């Protein structure tokens, strides 16, 4: 049967897509419907019709799924940041389990492995230690902050995101009052005018330290206005908001990138401190740091378990970033080498090692597929000259990879195979690219042993996964 745009249909949702959309069929015609979940019986309007499938808008829930809950967020449908907020948390974990399972087995072609239950969150709200709010003007000329509606740059006003810190709303209100007081306008994307583009807030999970970073369309903030901003923010301490750092970040580019490269500290330090486990990290506005420290400890704890360290091992950490996993592993390993292409991240990693008194971690700047072979050539020369430590460094016991969403470079996977580690621990934020890379590593002589999903992003479709692979021979 053929369907057209603007047709109304009734269907049962029996599957869920990778973006959280409900999937159902009408007379064999597949329809993808945002905000619908498995088990719903709905009425939908077709908004885009292809030959064999289409996209629909949810019009009415005729019979709700047993897993449907009322979203606590009043703007959840408009915002779209939390794609599966309508699911009970138990149903969310089941969805993520099936997502990982489907990708590993369908894309990776892997069957003989152990898939462990998803490690869920004790408290699936207020877990994010970082929030980035665009600043704009509503149609009545009022300054607003919130989040972009899905696939647009239209700001949905929201000062209290329920997965973010409770402190954020007071900080946002303070900055809006500062803008009014100092006659400062928000940035206008269309005209390129206005000053304030975004507000970045970081809150230390363990330390409770707060950083406020105002992203501005200028090389600087007027000195007097900056002093007023600092004074207004510091007064929030009386409300148990521990402001430790106020920073201005310059971004004058016509770009979707939120932060520019230049930061100026207006108050306190240019960073806050927080912990993962017992490792302390200094976090600047530009630092990459996991947004859910509680579940990151769970994730890294599982990675440490899979690494099977006894204190005598050599470990390579590819895509090491600011050393979060490297330093976590260094306490249990003989030697850890970290590689990262971003120079600032390596500088942060070395500094984080220093402030934690960790001396058995060494960091390299560059592409791992280039750094590692060069390092090996050097170690082979030293080993030939009788250096026993160099001999032990040639073939590591464990390689850890935690790549970006696009997964590992093919050359890097071949490089890892050439290193012949006994175990590979793969940490992934995208189970589809993970599955692709697992298939490649299996062809290179490794066996996928265990797959452990970890929920770090409740109410969204994202799930972290840590895998253990062992050498087949």
Which string of DSSP letters, residue by residue, matches 83-116? TTTTB-HHHHHHHHHHHHHHHHHHTS---SSEEP
15-49: string of b/e by CB count within 10 Å (b at 16+)?
ebeeebbbbbebeebebbbbbbbbbbbbebebeeb
The DSSP output letter for 72 is S
Q: Which of 137, 149, 123, 140 is nearest to 205 (CA)?
A: 123
Instruction: Give every CB contact of residue 205 below 8 A, 6+ residues apart in sequence.
Output: 129, 274, 275, 293, 294
Hey, what are 16's tokens? 């869920």
Q: Which of 212, 226, 196 is nearest to 135 (CA)?
A: 196
- Residue 398 CA to residue 381 CA, distance in Å, equals 22
Instruction: Give every CB contact of residue 199 below 8 A, 6+ residues apart in sequence.
Output: 132, 133, 135, 145, 171, 172, 175, 212, 213, 214, 215
Structure-token match 């280039």, residue found:
370
What is the dihedral sign for C-alpha 323, 325, 329, 331? Answer: positive
Stretches where the chain sits below pLDDT 50 are none
Instruction: Give every CB contact of residue 331 below 8 A, 6+ residues apart in sequence.
Output: 279, 358
- Active-site residue, 429 included: yes
Q: Which of 161, 213, 429, 467 is catalytic?
A: 429
What would the pLDDT profile of 396-435 be if each residue is shown by its tens digit?
999 999 999 999 989 899 989 988 999 999 999 999 999 9
Q: Are 210 and 202 in contact (CB under 8 A)?
A: yes
Q: Is 252 helix (H, G, I), strand (E, B) or coil?
A: coil
Specify the pLDDT at position 243. Answer: 98
Q: Are 245 and 269 in contact (CB under 8 A)?
A: yes
Sheet order of strands, 242-250 included: 155-157, 143-148, 130-137, 196-203, 209-216, 242-250, 262-268
Specify the pLDDT at position 287. Answer: 86
Q: Is 441 helix (H, G, I), strand (E, B) or coil?
A: helix
Specify the pLDDT at position 422. Answer: 96
The DSSP output letter for 471 is E
Q: Is 434 helix (H, G, I), strand (E, B) or coil?
A: helix
Angle between helix axes 368-384 and 410-419 (nearest 10 degrees) is: 20
Specify the pLDDT at position 77. Answer: 85
Q: Are 187 and 135 in contact (CB under 8 A)?
A: yes
- Residue 455 CA to residue 147 CA, distance in Å, equals 22
Specify the pLDDT at position 151. Answer: 79
**Based on the number of CB atoms within 10 Å of its own CB, is 372 exposed (0-12), middle (13-18) or buried (19 or more)?**
buried
Q: Are 130 and 200 in contact (CB under 8 A)?
A: yes
Q: Is 139 helix (H, G, I), strand (E, B) or coil?
A: coil
Beta bridge partners of 338: 317, 363
Beta bridge partners of 61: 42
Q: Are 144 and 157 in contact (CB under 8 A)?
A: yes
Hey, what are 176's tokens? 């809006």
What would the pLDDT profile of 271-326 be if each residue is shown by its tens digit?
999 999 999 999 999 888 889 999 999 999 999 999 999 999 999 999 999 999 99
Q: What is the signed CA dihedral for 440, 329, 307, 429, rounded to 10 degrees?
A: -40
Specify the pLDDT at position 395. Answer: 78
Specify the pLDDT at position 389. Answer: 74
């Amino acid at each position: 049967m053929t369907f057209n745009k603007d047709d109304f249909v009734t269907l049962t949702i029996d599957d869920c897509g990778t973006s959280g959309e409900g999937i159902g069929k009408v007379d064999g015609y597949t329809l993808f419907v945002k905000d619908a979940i498995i088990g719903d019986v709905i009425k939908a309007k077709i908004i885009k019709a292809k030959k064999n499938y289409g996209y629909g808008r949810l019009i009415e829930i005729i019979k709700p799924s047993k897993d449907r809950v009322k979203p606590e967020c009043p703007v959840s449908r408009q915002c779209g940041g939390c794609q599966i907020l309508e699911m009970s948390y138990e149903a969310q974990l089941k969805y993520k389990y099936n997502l990982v399972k489907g990708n590993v087995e369908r894309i990776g072609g892997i069957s003989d492995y152990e898939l462990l239950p998803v490690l869920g969150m004790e408290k699936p709200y207020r877990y994010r230690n970082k929030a980035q709010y665009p600043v704009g003007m509503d149609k009545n000329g009022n300054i607003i902050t919130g989040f972009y509606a899905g696939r647009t740059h239209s700001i949905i006003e929201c000062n209290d995101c329920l997965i973010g810190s409770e402190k954020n709303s007071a900080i946002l209100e303070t900055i809006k009052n500062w803008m009014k007081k100092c006659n400062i306008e928000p940035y206008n994307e269309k005209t390129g005018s206005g000053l304030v583009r975004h507000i970045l807030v970081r809150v230390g999970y363990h330390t409770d330290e707060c950083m406020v970073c105002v992203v501005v369309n200028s090389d600087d903030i007027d000195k007097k206005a900056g002093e007023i901003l600092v004074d207004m923010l510091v007064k929030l301490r009386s409300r148990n908001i521990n402001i430790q750092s106020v920073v201005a970040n310059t971004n004058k580019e016509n770009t979707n990138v939120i932060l520019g490269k230049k930061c100026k500290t207006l108050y306190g330090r240019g960073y806050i401190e927080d912990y993962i486990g017992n490792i302390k990290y200094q976090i600047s506005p530009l630092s990459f740091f996991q947004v859910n420290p509680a579940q990151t400890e769970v994730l890294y704890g599982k990675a440490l378990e899979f690494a099977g360290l006894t204190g005598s091992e050599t470990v390579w950490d590819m895509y090491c970033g600011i050393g979060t996993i490297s330093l976590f592993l260094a306490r249990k390993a003989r030697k850890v080498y970290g590689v990262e292409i971003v120079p600032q991240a390596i500088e942060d990693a070395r500094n984080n090692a220093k402030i934690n008194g960790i001396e058995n971690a060494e960091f390299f700047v560059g592409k791992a597929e280039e750094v590692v072979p060069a390092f090996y050539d050097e170690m082979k020369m030293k080993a030939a000259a009788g250096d026993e430590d160099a001999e032990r460094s040639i073939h590591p016991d464990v390689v850890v990879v935690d790549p970006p969403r696009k997964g590992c470079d093919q050359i890097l996977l071949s490089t890892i195979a050439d290193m012949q580690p006994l175990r590979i621990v793969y940490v992934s934020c995208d189970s589809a690219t993970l599955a692709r890379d697992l298939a490649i590593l299996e062809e290179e002589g490794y066996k996928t042993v265990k797959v452990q999903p970890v929920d770090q992003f409740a109410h969204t479709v994202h799930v972290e996964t840590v895998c253990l692979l062992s050498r087949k021979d």
